[in-house]
Amino acid sequence: MSAWVPGRNEARERLGDEFDKLSIESKLSVSRSVIDSSANPLVVPIYHSSTYVIGSLDEYLAPNHGGNFLYRRCGNPTSETAEVMIRELEGGAATLTYNSGLAATNAVFLAFLSAGDHLVCQLPIYSGTHMFIKNTLMRFGVEVTWVDTSRDGFVDKVAHSIKKNTKMIYVETPSNPVMTVIDVESVAKLGGKTANGTILTVVDSTFASPILQKPLDLGADIVLHSCTKYMGGHSDMIGGCVTTKTIELWNALKMQQLTTGSSMSPFDASLLIRGLKTASLRVIRCSESALKVATFLESHPKVKHVWYPGLESHPNHKIAKKQMRHFGGMIAFDVGDSATARHVVEAVKLIVFAVSLGGTESLIEHPASMSHGRHLHHHQDGEKENAGEDFSSISEGLIRLSIGLEDADDLVADLRRALDSVHN
């Protein structure tokens, strides 16, 4: 057991039982880490010092070195405040912040999987996660079963994939880029303590943000996010976070983070704190606009199919309704072929042609040639394709759209202009 402890929430300590009665918006507004300081600024400063003055050797030798702050790689008051805020949002035991979303994902894999362990992983998922599993985890001897979400019966397929050496089930919901919504409660029931040991259920909840979905309440052991997206919310920082159901899981990650150097910088943490304060307003507004845009896209003759969890036509609409507070700002739609998709992503004028998502500006991209392009899939020598491992459900005509804070009618007009200008 490490001597490190998660940050304490000053607001929780001041308000006592009243804190738990607050809405998440109010919790976010008042939460901050307990910081020793004679000054008491309203906004937590950017503590960029790489090291901290030690009072005495006795203090250094005390558990936790007499406090959480020793050296920046091991934590700092700015990122600790972000961690306190996120823990309150997720309802977990404790949170850690990372220098990217992918660093957060990799940390969870590396902390809890060893050679000979088996991972059951959804596919398609974010391509960076997919590539890390293929290029690194598998090279280090982790066995992987990919479970394709493009056909029915995902939960049954996960259940059938579990083996004696299964240690983790990894899902992403809604998924990047095809917007599959996973029934977290049903998947988590397959994990937990089994006759062969513990199976952790890990959820990448980036597309929903902690405002819309609480995987730990649904039974997951670990929830992670790219904070680069909705949590930061302004496309001006890179970061990730992991929240655990138990303090034991947090401790394992903390010990690993100390030696991998993956902690979030205080500059990014301060942008994350600022973003979190408006996250609820932004995410709900993006969700409302996305429903209007998705409804328009579904009615346009040049659009073959729309995947938005808020539409009744979405195959996982019922689950989305049950486990999400709103349906989020991400939409995928298919215009039939690569040439048409390329035309549309270049023809929009208000919506910006760029990768990433979850910011104030609406962004559009073509997954088959960009975020999930086959060019990313260079195989290791001699590596065999696993069934369902080839992104077959990402069609050439698929377009991914992240709805921002522009007026929904203006976004619809921009998309209508781009789609109407398609010749064929």
Ligand X SMILES: Cc1ncc(COP(=O)(O)O)c(C=O)c1O
Applying CB under 6 A, which residues contact ligand X?
Answer: 100-102, 105, 126, 128, 172, 176, 204, 206-207, 226, 228, 238, 240
Q: Annotated catalytic, 126?
A: yes
Instruction: Between 47 and 207, name the residue whose CB sits nearer to ligand X.
Output: 207
How far apart CA 124 and CA 137 sit, in angstroms, is 17
Q: How far is the CB of 388 from ligand X (least distance, A)?
A: 19
Q: Annotated catalytic, 73?
A: yes
User: Of 209, 229, 232, nearest to 326 (Cα)?
Assistant: 209
Instruction: Between 126 and 391, name the residue whose CB sits nearer to ligand X.
Output: 126
- CB environment 173-191: b (16+ within 10 A), e (fewer): bbbbbbbbbbbbbbbbebb
Instruction: Between 107 and 419, name the residue whose CB sits nearer to ligand X.
Output: 107
Q: How far is the CB of 225 from ligand X (least distance, A)?
A: 7
Beta bridge partners of 398: 334
Measured in degrees and rounded to the nearest 5, phi and psi for residue 286 equal -60, -40
- CA–CA distances in Å: residue 71 to residues 57, 261, 263: 15, 11, 11
User: Of 199, 197, 253, 196, nearest to 221 (Cα)?
Assistant: 199
Q: How far is the CB of 326 from ligand X (least distance, A)?
A: 18
Q: Mutual orientation of helices 266-277 and 279-299 as an angle, nearest 10°?
A: 70
Instruction: Between 171 and 190, name the residue whose CB sits nearer to ligand X.
Output: 171
- CB environment 398-407: b (16+ within 10 A), e (fewer): bbbbbbbeee
DSSP secondary structure letters along 22-45: S-HHHHHHH--B----SS--SSPP
> Quick count: other Cβ atoms within 10 Å of Cβ 94?
24
Residues 135/170/319/323 CA torsion (nearest 10 deg): -120
Pairing mode, strands 197-204 and 166-172? parallel
Q: Interior CA angle at 203 toward 187 and 308, to 5°?
A: 85
Q: How far is the CB of 385 from ligand X (least distance, A)?
A: 23
3 state DSSP class of 286: helix
How far apart CA 26 and CA 108 sit, in angstroms, is 30
* Residue tagged active-site, from 183, 204, 221, 334: 204
Q: Annotated catalytic, 60?
A: no
* Residue tagged active-site, from 73, 189, 277, 304: 73
Q: Beta strands of 8-115 (E only): which ranges?
A: 94-98
Instruction: Between 70 and 309, name the residue whose CB sits nearer to ligand X.
Output: 309
Q: How far is the CB of 105 from ligand X (least distance, A)?
A: 6
* Residue tagged active-site, from 47, 98, 126, 308: 126
Instruction: Between 105 and 251, name the residue whose CB sits nearer to ligand X.
Output: 105
Closest residue to bound ligand X by CB: 101
What is the Rg, in whole angstroms, of the alpha carbon atoms belonging to the chain? 22
Q: How far is the CB of 231 from ligand X (least distance, A)?
A: 10
Q: How far is the CB of 208 from ligand X (least distance, A)?
A: 10
Q: How far is the CB of 270 from ligand X (least distance, A)?
A: 17
> Quick count: other Cβ atoms within 10 Å of Cβ 72?
18
Question: Is 121 in contact with 144 (CB distance < 8 Å)?
Answer: yes
How far apart CA 191 and CA 166 sit, in angstroms, is 9
Measured in degrees and rounded to the nearest 5, phi and psi for residue 240 equal -145, 165
> Active-site residue numbers?
73, 126, 204, 229
